[in-house]
Structure 1
Amino acid sequence: MAEISAKLARSGRAEDVPEALQGIEEMSELIPIAREVAEVAGPLLLQLRRVDPDASVADAVMLAASRSREAFLVSGDRCFEGQRDVLKA
């Protein structure tokens, strides 16, 4: 959600942040970051950066968190190309 907020703010749409985040909350299951997610995220970041050198720690955390729940991640980010459990947005 922080990534959505930052992207909207960068594009001059900071006023849209509350509504956008509310929509995400209503349509999604928010997953807290647990130690297990953090442990998986580090090595996962290395894997994502092989596809996209600009992949962020947040990208790895989001994918690790979704996998911890056996859920799909919805994203259009290039770093997720080829990941079996990512749906292209």
Structure 2
Amino acid sequence: MQQLAFNYQLLVKPDIIELRADVDFEQEDIKPMAHYLLSKIADSRLIEIVEGVDRAYFRADIQNQSFTINFEVYSQSCWLEPESPKEQAVLHHITSFL
């Protein structure tokens, strides 16, 4: 799996982890960036990829919990969020891997 390493800053919010990339990314960069992020998180696996015109999201199983990694090209946004409130407790633990 191709990975694209990149530098970013984490902004931890109560219900999401926002990642602010130090470089602009394009649509073709999203998949390698997502694989890079998942490679940094212990006990994670990709479940599904859904790609749109300017965005994509990656459903992932992270430590036996369901999360989504979202990317938007136009706004240069990337964030990780739990799929339901029960995953909220694991969300902040994930920051130690990122």
With CA pairs under 8 Å and 6+ residues apart, which has the higher RCO, 1 or 2? 2
Q: Which has the higher strand share?
A: 2
Larger radius of gyration: 1
Q: Which has the higher helix share?
A: 1
TM-score normalised to structure 1 length: 0.29
TM-score normalised to structure 2 length: 0.27
